[in-house]
């Protein structure tokens, strides 16, 4: 059997999480030489995930710069990946999701006439401004890809509508579930300590059994479309919920982006609103294992993230999405996710309902997770092997 080379190119923490199980599997696959190239679009957060899963990049382009613009990073990424592909000359390039790295790597591969395999293909909102710029990145990547790994049947339908041949689409489930199960096993074996969080909120028994008498709401936020007034509204909603529910603890790992941190600290830091909120805990961003531990411990989650909408239902956690649109409508249809936008009253109303109505909470927390069974990696490896060694 002739060995085929697959180059996996990524640069952010979410990409690393979702590609980690695929990389680990391809490294063990017979007849496949798996090479890992990182752009380091998110340097620190990327390295944390690589360390957790024991992945050492073969090539580190190290492109991150302070205050980088999207256009500047895109230009540097295309040039750097172009040089890497000229040296490596792989048989297949694999990318994941909808980041700037995904678009740049796909374009560079297209210019080299190297086929692209797109993990998490077919997600759509139909609005190029939301999420921005991710919707454009994934639409353009679809046009360049030769092999499309769609997490769900709905994603496959989106691709078919865009005239992608059905023979080039494989419905796999989402690899984030595979990664979540790997991480959860590590967390249960060795529960992490989380700086800035009172120990009574994260006892070992509550992590392992995801049960506690102390309700905990986990919050994440980073989307560009919420910069400005959106984040002000989100923070005001958290403050109002903390006042209404003094026995509930609200834990917010605050993203490093200054445009996120400014409204959070202005509105939610101790004394900022004129009223001390002792049940609001603002902590630094978490590594992946610590975040999985907090998700498993949480009662419910408020987020504008995409990946959390896929992960949390596997842990039985209702998700309130603080965005106007979602490219993951399957979760809304299944009942595990509710989209409320970055509107203060809507966020407060939705969270309060889950905290006060046990029947509603049970309905959302026990709903079917549409994003897979934890075996997406196996389907992706099998499809890559078939694509590279056709009959």
Note the CATH number of domain 4-174+373-388: 3.40.50.2000
Q: Are 135 and 125 in contact (CB under 8 A)?
A: yes
pLDDT band at 104 (very low <50, low <70, confident <90, very high): very high
Q: What is the pLDDT of residue 93?
A: 98
* DSSP category for residue 233: H
Tokens of 270: 């101790």
Q: What is the per-residue pLDDT across 199-208, written as a single tens digit (0 to 9) for each?
A: 888 765 555 5
Question: What is the pLDDT, as a whole number, of residue 42?
Answer: 79
Whole-model pTM? 0.85
**Does residue 134 have an active-site annotation?**
yes
Catalytic residue, candidates 15, 98, 178, 324: 98
Q: For residue 202, what pLDDT is reported?
A: 77
Q: Retrieve residue 70's tokens.
A: 């999207």
- Mean pLDDT value across residues 156-182: 97
Give residue-wise pLDDT tens across range 249-276: 999 999 878 887 888 888 888 766 556 7
For all residues of the chain together, what is the average pLDDT?
91
- The residue written with tokens 């599997």 in the block is 25
Query: For this structure, is 255 an active site residue?
Result: yes
In this structure, which topology does domain 191-365 adopt according to CATH? Rossmann fold (3.40.50)
Backbone CA torsion sign across 107, 112, 118, 121: positive
Residues 33, 76, 210, 222: which is the catalytic one? 222
The structural domains of the chain, with segments of one domain joined by +, span: 4-174+373-388, 191-365
- Residue of 255, 297, 323, 328 marked catalytic: 255
Q: What is the rounded distance in angstroms from the CA atom of residue 82 to the CA atom of residue 9?
A: 12
Enclosing H/E stretch for 219: strand 216-219
- Do 197 and 281 form a contact (C-beta atoms < 8 A)? yes
Active-site residue, from 118, 224, 236, 328? 224
Q: Do 4-174+373-388 and 191-365 fold alike per CATH?
A: yes
* Mean pLDDT score, 62-80: 93
* pLDDT of 133 higher than 90: yes
Percent of the chain with pLDDT over 90: 70
109-128 pLDDT, tens per residue?
999 999 999 999 999 999 99
């Amino acid at each position: 059997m002739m060995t085929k080379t697959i180059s996996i190119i990524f640069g952010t923490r979410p990409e690393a999480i979702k590609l980690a199980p695929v990389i680990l599997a391809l490294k063990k696959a017979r007849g496949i030489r798996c090479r890992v190239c990182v752009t380091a679009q998110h340097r620190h957060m990327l390295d944390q995930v690589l360390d957790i899963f024991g992945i050492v990049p073969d090539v580190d382009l190290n492109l991150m710069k302070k205050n980088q613009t999207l256009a500047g990073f895109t230009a540097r990424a295309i040039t750097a990946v172009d040089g890497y592909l000229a040296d490596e000359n792989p048989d297949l390039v694999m990318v994941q999701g909808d980041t700037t790295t995904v678009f740049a790597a796909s374009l560079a591969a297209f210019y080299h006439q190297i086929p692209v395999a797109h993990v998490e293909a077919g997600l759509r909102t139909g609005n190029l401004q939301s999420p921005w710029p991710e919707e454009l990145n994934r639409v353009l990547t679809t046009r360049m890809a030769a092999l499309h790994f769609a997490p769900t049947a709905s994603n496959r339908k989106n691709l078919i509508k865009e005239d992608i041949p059905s023979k080039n689409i494989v419905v796999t489930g989402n690899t984030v579930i595979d990664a979540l199960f790997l991480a959860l096993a590590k967390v249960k074996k060795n529960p992490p300590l989380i700086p800035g969080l009172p120990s009574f909120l994260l006892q070992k028994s509550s992590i392992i059994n995801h049960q506690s008498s102390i309700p905990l709401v986990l919050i994440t936020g980073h989307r560009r479309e919420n910069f400005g007034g959106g984040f002000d509204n989100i923070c005001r909603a958290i403050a109002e919920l903390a006042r209404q529910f003094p026995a509930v603890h609200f834990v917010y790992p605050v993203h490093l982006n200054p445009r996120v941190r400014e409204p959070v600290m202005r509105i939610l830091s101790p004394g900022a609103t004129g009223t001390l909120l002792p049940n609001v805990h603002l902590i630094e961003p978490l590594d992946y294992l610590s975040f999985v531990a907090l998700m498993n411990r949480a009662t419910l989650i408020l987020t504008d993230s995409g990946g959390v909408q896929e992960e949390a239902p596997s842990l039985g956690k209702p998700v309130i999405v603080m965005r106007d649109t979602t490219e993951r409508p399957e979760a809304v249809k299944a009942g595990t996710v509710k989209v409320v936008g970055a509107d203060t009253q809507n966020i407060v109303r939705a969270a309060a309902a889950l905290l006060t109505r046990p029947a509603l909470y049970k309905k959302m927390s026990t709903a079917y997770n549409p994003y897979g069974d934890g075996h997406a990696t196996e389907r992706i490896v099998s499809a890559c092997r078939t694509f590279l060694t056709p009959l």
